[in-house]
Amino acid sequence: MADVPGGTGRYTRELTSALAECAPPTWSVQTVVARHSDPSQALIPGVDGPRVLPVPRRALIAAWERGMRYWPGGDSVHAPTPLAPPGPSRGRPLVVTVHDTVPWTHPETLTPRGARWHQRAITTAARQASALVVPTGAVSAELSRYTQPQCRVHVVGEGVSAALALPEQEGADAIAQRLDLPPRYLLTIGTLEPRKGIGVLLDALTRPEAPQLPLLIVGQRGWGEVEPMQIADRVGLDRARLRVLGRITDAELAVVLHRASALVVPSLAEGFGLPLLEAMAAGVPVVHSDVPALIEVAGGAGVPVRRQDPAALAYGLRTVLADPERTAALVAAGRRRAERFSWARAAQQVWRIHLELHQAR
């Protein structure tokens, strides 16, 4: 329900839906949200709820930050972000997902307030939760350097939404026409904020070795006043080569993704990099920065380039698109890699964590 749900919004919706689909006998899944003017935004098909707590978000955050043991309900709680109660209650387990260590490794890419809050919330979860879930081994290794978790840390990967993994659906041509998609284009997906590396990407596209293709950007504006058109003017990129689509529906995203010539992930920091996996599942070659989590998720099926290096990024894009045989090999490797991840598999792993904790209480 955040103004800019971002990747954690996708994670919450997809994982919760999958948890409900594969719930063990006698168990059910219910969502709980803070008081909100429109809780219907949190409706997930097949999931009970949302049950609305009598306190608004800010009050809930303040209460849990101060250690108030206000249990949101249930025999076991899974917090899909670090916003969580301060610990288990009466033997009922609490499992918290920590998506990345950006608040420590790249605090300058968050708001100062956001970095401080996430550091506190993650530290509390690492000290008090029954277990932590992280999306990659890279995040697990980094987390141990900053928080020294007092509970077990489980690496549980993510998956690809069925709506995005399917081949082009009926009406795809109409969507492409409405969005005025060019015949060939580069694509990047993510909230417009400093750590996504948009400036590096736009700079790379000004280089003579870069493919002379337009760039489409999918994602809402976040914080930090990242304005792609202004950045394009600053680095000397023709505005005609840049389009910001903003937030689009899953049906639109599926069409935009499947028709892209390549996905570019120039991030400075990531915990998983869901668009990378989604592109691979869609048969789109990927060029990504050398962030450890992206290297791990790609598993050698993408083209890694040095972070914050426009020249390296331009060259990486050229090597992908100038050689059809290499492009085909990357597409095939990407599809195989994506098959190793699914939301159903992630949900089964999360259920195993909760059931083991519940049985051990």
CATH value at residue 353: 3.40.50.2000
Element (H, E) at 123: helix 112-128
Number of H helices, E strands in the chain: 15, 12
pTM of the model: 0.94
Domain of residue 282, residue span: 162-338
Is 308 inside any structural domain?
A: yes
- Tell me: do 259 and 314 sit in the same domain: yes
- Tell me: do 152 and 76 sit in the same domain: yes
Any idea which residue has 């069925």 for tokens? 162
Is 128 inside any structural domain?
A: yes
- Tell me: do 64 and 135 sit in the same domain: yes
Where b means 16+ CB within 10 Å and e means fewer, 339-350 reads eebbbebbbeeb
pLDDT of residue 317: 96
Where are any strands of DSSP class E within 206-297? 215-218, 242-246, 262-265, 286-289
Is 260 inside any structural domain?
A: yes
Total structural domains in the chain? 2
Is 1 inside any structural domain?
A: no
Is 255 inside any structural domain?
A: yes
pLDDT of residue 167: 62
Give the chain's residues under pLDDT 70.
Answer: 166-169
pLDDT of residue 171: 86
- Tell me: do 128 and 233 sit in the same domain: no
- Tell me: do 54 and 121 sit in the same domain: yes
Strand 186-189 and strand 262-265: pairing?
Answer: parallel
